[in-house]
Amino acid sequence: MPDRRTTARRARLRFWGTAYALLILLTGTNLPTPLYRGYATKFGFPPVVVTLVFAVYVAVLIPSLLVAGPLSDAIGRRRVVLPSMALAALGSLLFALATSTGWLFAARILQGLALGAASGPLTAALTELEPAGNRRRAALVSTVASAGGLGLGPALGGLLAQYAPEPYVLPFAVEIALLVPAAAVISTLPETRARTRWRPRRPEIPEGMGPVFATSGTTGFLAFAVVGLFLTLIPTYVATLSGSRNLFLAGALVALMLACSALAQLAGYGRPARQLELAGLPLLAAGLALLAIAGGISSLTLLIVAIVIAGTGQGLAFLGGLTATNQAAPANRHAEVVSGFYVVLYLGVGVPVIGVGFLATTAGLLTAVQYFAVAVAALCLLMLLLLTRTHRRTAATAHR
């Protein structure tokens, strides 16, 4: 029989291997970010098509999340995640072979199915596999891996596309190679006995979780609406302000926003969930306001400042929302609840940016991004006011 040290080492390997799998899946879905401008030139489509490619991704991702979360609670994480990784590899292959716009839609559909099926179960698995049973630490690792993958994708895609051969093939070949060790680790996860009986059902929140889910979900929606903007239209926005066609610059600035998000989550580790949300929302609003101003005065320097502030606010708000959701979710429905939370996040990624894409077609990209930034900043401040009032009422009740 393995000794205690060997068992602990295996537990750590499975935990960090699961985090790596989440990181690589998200990296793959965001590799095309700096390439969309090139695809638009190559295949001849306007900005709105980029947002529609994202929309179809979200449209399949959400039902995949809703089915896979409770399914993995019933049959185990491994049986759900491994097929999703095969779909992710196939999506990357379609991007590498793309010869028309239709290929992009097909590739994004496969990526949406893959990430939707895997993200809830992987997040839940991190909570279950955390060696000390620390849910807060598991939430931190999950959010940092998510932000890391979102940022690494554009940076890696832009770097390889700008400086390596075969710019529309090599990034996706690298992603497929990176998926292999991730699948190897997931294949070692232990079988789990069914804790619930799976059946198709409409989405629902466990009794008593409604207020927490509503506030955390709204905060997460706003935070990820900003991520959606950065992953679709900000590379072109950067090129317009800077006059540079360097793909790595565009990808690196998107990655900067998400790197700031990850660093903010590391700095916020251990703080109460509501405190994180109350700190993140005003920073997110300030960053968006500066983003709008940067477009008005054509300042790349101010844009970089805006990206750093918005990324910091996004990371704190996201960590706060996920931590609150993780802590309130019952154990036997954990993946289902986390999957529901991710549904809200991905609605934020996919829905608002469609409107920005249509507006960009008629009013221009700079104007569309400015309107979006001001609107979401105002909503962040409204949510901040609501959370502040709720926090004060809770504190007053506790002191009675």
Residue among 137, 183, 144 at smallest CA distance from 18: 183
DSSP 244: -
Rounded Cα distance, 309 and 150, in Å: 17
**Residue 202 in domain:** no
Is residue 397's pLDDT more than 70?
no
Q: Per the domain annotation, does 13 fall within a domain?
A: yes
Q: How far apart are the C-alpha atoms of 37 and 196, rounded to whole Å? A: 46
> How far, in Å, CA of 323 to CA of 1, rounded?
36
Backbone dihedral region for residue 134 (phi beyond 0: left; psi -120 to 50: alpha; all else: beta): beta
Quote the DSSP letter at residue 329: S
Kindly state whether residue 199 falls inside one of the protein's structural domains: no
* Residue 374 pLDDT: 93
Is a pLDDT exceeding 60 seen at residue 400?
Answer: no
**One-letter amino acid for residue 31 of the chain:** L
Q: How many alpha carbons lie under 13 Å from residue 90 in its C-beta half-sphere?
A: 13
Burial of 228: CB neighbours in 10 Å, binned 0-12, 13-18, 19+: buried
Question: What is residue 79's three-state secondary structure?
Answer: helix
Which of 115, 117, 116, 138 lies closest to 126 in space, CA to CA?
138
Question: Which pLDDT belongs to residue 391?
Answer: 66
- Does residue 390 form part of some domain? yes
CA distance 46 to 29: 21
Least confident of 56-60, 330-334, 340-344: 330-334
Closest among 265, 361, 242 to 316, alpha carbons compared: 265
Instruction: State how far the Cα of 330 lies from the Cα of 15, in Å rounded to an integer.
Output: 21
Within a domain: residue 232? yes
In 3-state terms, what secondary structure has residue 272?
A: coil
Residue 319 has pLDDT above 90, yes or no: no
Number of domains in the chain: 1
Q: Tens of pLDDT along 211-270?
A: 788 888 899 999 999 888 887 778 878 877 777 778 888 888 888 998 898 889 888 887
The percentage of the chain sitting over the pLDDT mark of 70, rounded to a whole number, equals 92
- Indicate which CATH number applies to the domain containing 93: 1.20.1250.20
Q: Please check whether residue 203 is in contact with residue 347, taking contact to mean a CB–CB distance below 8 angstroms.
A: no
Q: Report the candidate in 25, 256, 261, 230 with the shortest Cα–Cα distance to residue 120.
A: 25
- Its sign, for the CA torsion 15, 17, 21, 22, is positive
Q: Which residue has the higher pLDDT, 136 or 30?
A: 30
Rg of the Cα atoms in the chain: 20
CA distances from 51 to 48, 57, 105, 345 (A): 5, 10, 11, 16
pLDDT, one tens digit per residue, over 70-116 is 777 777 788 888 999 999 999 999 999 999 999 999 999 999 999 98
Asked if the structure places residue 238 within a domain, the reply is yes
**By percentage, how much of the chain surpasses pLDDT 90?**
32
Write down the pLDDT at residue 106: 95
Is residue 194 a part of any domain in this protein? no
Give the closest residue to 240 by CA, choosing from 298, 319, 316. Answer: 298
| Span 13-46, pLDDT tens digits | 888 989 999 999 999 998 998 888 889 888 988 8
Q: Which of 21, 31, 19, 18 is nearest to 57 (CA)?
A: 31
Mean pLDDT of the chain: 85
Residue range of the domain that includes 116: 9-188+207-398
pLDDT of residue 375: 93
The predicted structure's pLDDT at residue 3: 67
pLDDT, tens digit, 9 for 90 and up, residues 264-291: 988 888 788 888 999 999 999 999 999 9
Alpha helices in 164-209 (DSSP H): 170-186
Span 365-394, mean pLDDT? Answer: 86
Higher-pLDDT residue of 72 and 167 is 167
Residue 166 lies in a domain: yes
The secondary structure of residue 40, as a DSSP letter, is H
